Amino acid sequence: MSARLQLDGISKQFPDKNDGRIHHVLDTVSFTAEPGEFISLIGPSGCGKTTLLRIVHGLEQPTGGTVMCDGHAVVAPELRRAFVFQHFNLFPWRTVAENIGFGLEVRGDPRAEQQDRIDFMIRLVGLSGFGQHYPHEISGGMQQRVGIARALVLEPDVLLMDEPFGSLDAITREKLQRDISDILAKQPKTTLFVTHNMDEAIYFSDRVLVFGTNPGRIIEQVKVMLDRPRQADVVRASREFAAIREHLWSLLSRELQQ
């Protein structure tokens, strides 16, 4: 399953801790994500991308505007909207399997069903044989796979990913990109994906939202008209990829200069 997200005029303000002046993080951000659509958010640091994900999840409330998920207002976190963080945030005292199954426990799923789902997700994310390992016994890339499996095991309608590959080395990042692309092809989710990597944004996305800063706002929505399924090497060698990348860079460099 996947859901339709509607963001209408989302604004967020914070008082400055030093002088009390109001800091405008987001200013009237509006867009719609259709069921199963993959949308990347890119922009300079500090433009409110992560804050926007937290608002969509329900972890924070906007100062103005509304978020609707399949026609229902988002007012608090729900298990149908899953969050994958940049940092692994695993429980060190729980095994891989126990970390993956945490949300199922909270939801109160029958124990036998929990185990079936956990076993399926372990296989799906390529962690067979590591279910009884603890986080400190596996690599960073494996830990991020656990974080992704913990989100997907709940069969969410919406997947929110905040630079999930940002702390990984280049080789591990490339492998995970391909694996997650394959997983989402099998289990499509409405996905909002924060990244600073233009190549990554193009490879995954149906649309890329380019954000400006001071305040955070959408300066352009760029459609990625590349056929699916996508093979990373073929996509990155194409003229279309190069043209989109050049356009994204022109938007971002203009914003950085300002």
Domains of the chain: 5-80+158-257 (3.40.50.300), 90-155 (no CATH)
Q: Which two tokens stand for residue 55?
A: 């608002």
* 67 beta partners: 7
Instruction: Give the per-residue pLDDT at 227.
Output: 87
Report the C-alpha gap between 212 and 88 in whole angstroms: 28
Instruction: Give the per-residue pLDDT at 186.
Output: 82
- pTM, rounded to two decimals: 0.91
Residue type at position 5? L
For 3, the 3-state DSSP assignment is coil
Instruction: Give the per-residue pLDDT at 208.
Output: 97
pLDDT in tens, the chain (258 residues): 789 999 999 999 988 777 778 888 999 999 999 999 999 999 988 899 999 999 999 999 999 999 999 999 999 998 899 998 877 789 999 999 999 999 999 889 898 899 999 999 999 888 999 999 999 999 988 998 899 899 989 989 999 999 888 777 788 788 888 888 888 888 889 999 999 999 999 999 999 999 998 899 999 999 999 988 888 888 889 999 999 999 999 999 887 776
What torsion, rounded to 10 degrees, do the Cα atoms 179, 50, 214, 219 define? 40
- State the CB neighbour count (10 A cutoff) for residue 68: 15
Instruction: Give the per-residue pLDDT at 168.
Output: 76
Q: Do β-strands 64-69 and 72-73 pair in parallel, antiparallel, or remain unpaired? A: antiparallel
Q: How many residues does the chain have?
A: 258
Instruction: Give the per-residue pLDDT at 144.
Output: 87
Instruction: Give the per-residue pLDDT at 22.
Output: 84
E strand spans, 34-71: 38-42, 64-69
Q: Which two tokens stand for residue 153?
A: 């095991």
Instruction: Give the per-residue pLDDT at 13.
Output: 92
